[in-house]
Amino acid sequence: MALALGLAACGNGGSETTPADGGSNAAAPGTVKIGFMGDLTGANAGIVIPPRNGAKLAIDQYNKTNPAVKIELVEYDSQADPSKAVALAQQAIKTDKIVGLVGPAFSGESAQVGPVLEEAKLPSISASATNVKLAENGWKYWHRVLPNDGVQGPGIADFIAGGAAAKNVFVIDDKSEYGKPLADAVRAQLATKGVKVTNDSLDPAESDFSSVANKVAAAKPDAIFFGGYYAAGGNLLKQLRDKNVDAKFLSGDGSLDKGLIEGAGADNAEGALIGCPCYIATPDVTDAKVKGFADAYKAAYNADPAIYASEGFDAATVFIEAVKAGKTTPEDINQFISTVDIAGVSKQVKFAPNGEVEAKDIYIYQVKGGAITLLGKAAEAKLG
């Protein structure tokens, strides 16, 4: 179903009837365009489609209220390829004349698209790019609605040493631009806590991780942290359990997907712990706002909200609030974003001058009975 939506949206993109004046001088254009950029059909689409759905949900809800200025969501499928992402960004700026962008989804493409958006003075809010360095470029138009790996890594490390009470930890990364810095942040924080750390890296394109598993088995750790995506994470977890390694398995947001459970097998995955700077609305929430979002999401997409869905919703909501406040040019919207302070689904949304969101909570999730459940905030969570 997601594909059908994607096709329809792409088919409409760029050929809409809005006069191509960018809205800069027009008094009140009938429709403004917001872009969504990310890997919608590639290998990691599993963590990009939920935030896309979240953003689309927010915009659909807004358009149903029959506002003076409607918003149209234009999708750009970068397949996580930075050079494609740049070409699409140029297209978005020159031809489609969008006024804001939700995305790019990943850090790699963000690094290349960021300067383009900066020069075009086009505000962006990413719902999933967590690389620390993105905020260090002095970009004025770039934002993200979740804490970075520099917050996530130490948060998870604190939990490993605290809530999970591990003394001997084996840290593995996947040598990707996401997994490596995250694992490094975990390593650094664990070292300050006096925890013994052993390291190895793997190549996620491979499927035999037995050399990693042998090293882990030899190190006899009581916890394992893997920085990387769920596909490799699931295989790794299975091969570890096959080697009779039964230490606690922890990972970061890239592994927060049911693909981890499927890849490892439900028995092997039971009890695995996954940290994430995201807040997933699980079916048992009580908070009215979150529950409303979860129900609407379920009704629209026939699935429970997954990773970054609420972040995507919040990112789109910021743009919607800007439009509601009568801001329809990129410059005005960016001005609005810098002052925004609203209660989102995932968190209180308020941005620091460098584009980082102010809220810094990391949540820990646990696999129980073949499903991902919320254990609590990393600082407070305890293993039962």
* Residues at the site binding another protein, with contacts judged by CB under 8 A: 1-3, 7, 10, 14, 41-43, 45-46, 77, 82-84, 86-88, 90-91, 93-95, 108, 111-112, 115-116, 118-120, 131, 133, 137, 175-177, 179-181, 199-203, 205-212, 214-215, 217-218, 231, 234-235, 238-239, 241-244, 259, 262-263, 265
Kindly state the smallest distance separating residue 17's Cβ from another protein, in Å.
Answer: 17
Kindly state the smallest distance separating residue 46's Cβ from another protein, in Å.
Answer: 6
Q: Which is nearer to another protein, 4 or 27 (CB)?
A: 4
14 Cβ neighbours under 8 A, 6+ residues apart = 74, 91, 95, 96
Rounded Cα gap, residues 369 and 170, in angstroms: 25
Q: Which is nearer to another protein, 178 or 293 (CB)?
A: 178
Count CA within 13 A, CB hemisphere, residue 214: 4
Kindly state the smallest distance separating residue 374's Cβ from another protein, in Å.
Answer: 24
Kindly state the smallest distance separating residue 256's Cβ from another protein, in Å.
Answer: 15
Q: Which is nearer to another protein, 74 or 364 (CB)?
A: 74
Contact 311, 146 (CB under 8 A): yes
For residue 42, what are its two tokens? 């590639």
Neighbour-count burial of 11, counting CB atoms closer than 10 A to its CB (0-12 exposed, 13-18 middle, 19+ buried): exposed
Contact 307, 313 (CB under 8 A): no
Rounded Cα gap, residues 7 and 110, in angstroms: 24
Q: Which is nearer to another protein, 55 or 212 (CB)?
A: 212
Q: Which is nearer to another protein, 15 or 66 (CB)?
A: 15
Kindly state the smallest distance separating residue 215's Cβ from another protein, in Å.
Answer: 7
Strands 371-377 and 363-368: antiparallel
Kindly state the smallest distance separating residue 130's Cβ from another protein, in Å.
Answer: 13
Rounded Cα gap, residues 226 and 229, in angstroms: 9
Q: Which is nearer to another protein, 46 or 376 (CB)?
A: 46
CA distances from 243 to 94, 225, 233, 240, 265 (A): 55, 17, 15, 5, 15
Rounded Cα gap, residues 311 and 90, in angstroms: 25
Q: Which is nearer to another protein, 115 or 292 (CB)?
A: 115
Kindly state the smallest distance separating residue 116's Cβ from another protein, in Å.
Answer: 5
Rounded Cα gap, residues 124 and 89, in angstroms: 11
